[in-house]
Structure 1
Amino acid sequence: MSFNSKSLPTYEQLLERKDAPPGSSWGLFGDNDQVGTLNLINTESRLRGIASVVDGKAFSLDLPSTSIYPSLAPTRKPIAHHIFQRNDFHHDEWLDNFYTQYGSQIDGLRHIGHPEYGFYNGYDHTQFKPGTNTLSIHHFAALPIATRGVLIDVERYMAKQGLTLDQSSGQAISVDILEAARKSQGVEIQWGDAVIIRFGWLDYYLNRTDESTRANLVTEQFHPGLEQSTKTLSWLWDNRISIIAADNFALECWPAKPDSPFFTPGELRHEECSAHAGIMHRAIIPLMGMPIGELWNIDELAKACAADGRYTFMLTAAPLPIVGGVGSPANAIAIR
């Protein structure tokens, strides 16, 4: 299927849809689509990525497996790594408790559904079983994900402007701040780009917290991130971004702000209680069909970008081709 800037509606037009949930891209990439906005990656976006490479320096955007401890999510556990030998000159291994979305990760389209409309493209979530194809993460791996990447360094911009970015709170970062940071870097977002946002949260978590603080983050999860708003969704969609990623735990600010438009009526009346109450994931992943990257390790990349003023690069990500998979380690690389 072929697309161009005129063949896809604006986000405002998506909100007016009568043939599908308002604000959704359902059907725009085909009734049987499995990869959502990753469809926006094309030959041109890959060639732009290649053209962004100047000195060939590569950056891994993945954390080591032991970096996050204890777990940031109460339902996920650190991996248990086992090594065994068949003889003195052989080693093999296996993993227990391998939660694919534990560290640097990509949320697939099975990950989150909308409370009213369900999962992307209206697929029946009862199909989401191990070994089944519908919205499986292995479709991402098969593309593959390779396109131009754009870094927006919110933390550096705000520091230069004398603005406060509180890493220990759920501070909401508006589209106005995002756009101001982007413009200060002199970078444009183009069709099919992968956009990575640096809030500076991983640097805070890894280098400026003690063991007690990290332990409390499991039960008292607060971090800055994107503001929950339709303006944010419009920015994501109208920029034709293929995948959005960040260096915090959830991309958006956590927990959701009280004025988030994504609370269900029951949640607003305090009749329903959910750890996901009010989150924007419910619109980004199942309605828009946009994958989300979280806990990406981008500090070294950001330093290099700040040093020479180049904020674009070739970006590859190789999710594990697990048939039936919900998410995956990111296995992301930036080449400048």
Structure 2
Amino acid sequence: MSRWVNRPEGSNWGDFGPDDQIGRLNLITPEKIRAAAAEVKTGERFCLSLPLDLPGGNILNPRRYPPEISPTMRSQNRPNMNYNLSQDDPNMIDVICDDMVVLHTQYSSQWDSLAHVGQEFDADGDGRAEIVYYNGYRGGEHIRGPEDEGGSRALALGIENMAAAGVQGRGVMIDLEGAFGRAKTLVGYDGLMRVLETDNVVIEEGDMICLHTGFAQMIMDMDGKPDKDKLHNSCAALDGRDGRLLNWISDSGLSLLIADNYAVEAYPSRAGHGNCAFLPIHEHCLFKLGIHLGELWYLTPLNNWLKANGRSRFLLTAPPIRLPGAVGSPANPVATV
């Protein structure tokens, strides 16, 4: 039985099958991966993640905190760090360390799963809106909250689906900092098209788009002591209220949308009219099109190398952690040029 009668205007629900959970990752075909592999010319590699304890503190999002690392515990509540096993057996000479981490999955460089943003939408066609996510998966049934049976967990659209798909393909860099500097700038369709034309950037179906703004480099330079006012008033970000930009995201065939800033799009977005999404690109990508979003990636060293070598394309390998039920994940992407 179909989960929906109505699908949102401009969405692709059902286009990849009634039970699809990976959205436009389906566009990265074996042929696209072979084309991505052909972008490797020198074999140099770039780590595209921030250290997971950055940005530092919780000024970017008061609900997200840095990781907390602690040792696991042995018998008699002894910490398993520099633990000499001779305490258990005098014939043993080994020393062992073993730890655990409390991790906010979307604190630093991250992936948003398709369960990250849904909407109240009348998918049943009965005149009443219900909580739904990409491809009609339901809040309470498929994406469960703390009040639901079993507690909070994404039984559908969780990040493990993205991980199992194997996130690898051709990355394409768009250098917004090169065009707009680090001044706070809303980039709509016209501005983005000028950058693509000026830098001779070509985007094909299945490409993974990376937007370089310099924001993550600012975080690195602040070294765990982020300046809230400076960060919130710097760098370019996409204007999610620009309808032509949203149409371009739909029509371009891009498979994933990634940026080195906090939310890919301007946050908060420009004021909308009537009932509107708080983060319109999140709604358009995660809810309507099944496009995973990557945020707070560290793109500056790779961008600089690509610019110096007259390139914009590279092989990108970027799986999330395979954590069933999670709605987001740290990312540790690797670009190979």
Candidates 136, 148, 152, aligned match of 2:170: 148
Once the two structures are superposed, residues 183-237 of structure 1 have per-residue CA deviations (whole angstroms, 9 ceiling, x without a partner) of 22222111101000011122233336994723x579x687631011221111112
Partner of 2:104: helix, strand, or coil?
coil
Match of 2:239 in 1: 227
Q: Which residue number corresponds to residue 200 of structure 1? A: 214
Whether the 8 Å CA contact 1:198–1:246 is kept in 2: the answer is: yes
Provide the residue aligned with 2:64 in structure 1. Answer: 76
Deviations 1:233-268 (A, max 9, x none): 11112110110000100000111112x46x626xxx
Structure 1 stretch displaced more, 27-36 or 131-140: 131-140
Structure 1 length as normaliser, TM-score? 0.82
What secondary structure sits across from 1:280 in the alignment? helix
Q: For the structure 1 residues 245 and 121, does the alpha-carbon distance in structure 2 shift closer, same or farther, using more than 3 Å as the test?
A: same
Aligned residues: 296
Root mean square deviation, CA, Å: 2.4
Q: d(CA) in 1 for partners of 2:154 and 2:54?
A: 32
Question: How far apart in 1 are the matches of 2:179 and 2:306?
Answer: 13
Give how far 1:45 is off. 1.2
2:53 is aligned to: 66
Runs of 5+ consecutive residues of structure 1 not aligned to the other structure: 1-17, 160-164, 266-275
Q: Which residue of 1 aligns with 2:158?
A: 136
What are the ranges of 5 or more consecutive residues in structure 2 without an aligned counterpart?
72-79, 85-93, 123-131, 145-151
In structure 1, the residue matched to 2:90 is none
Alignment of 1:243 with 2:256, yes or no, is yes
* Alignment-derived partner of residue 43 in structure 2: 56
Deviates more, 1:173-182 or 1:187-196: 173-182
Quote the residue 2:199 is aligned against: 185
Deviation, 1:331, is: 1.8
Q: Which moved more, 1:109-118 or 1:137-146?
A: 109-118
Q: Displacement of 1:320 after TM fit?
A: 0.7
* CA displacement at 1:179 relative to structure 2: 1.8
Q: TM-score, normalised by structure 2?
A: 0.81
| 1:325–1:189 CA distance, 2 compared to 1 (3 A) | same
State the distance in 2 between where 1:217 and 1:105 align.
22
Shift of 1:302: 0.5
CA contact (8 A) 2:169 2:208 kept: yes
Quickly say closer, same or farther: Cα 1:81–1:246, change in 2 above 3 A: same
Letter in 2 for 1:103: S
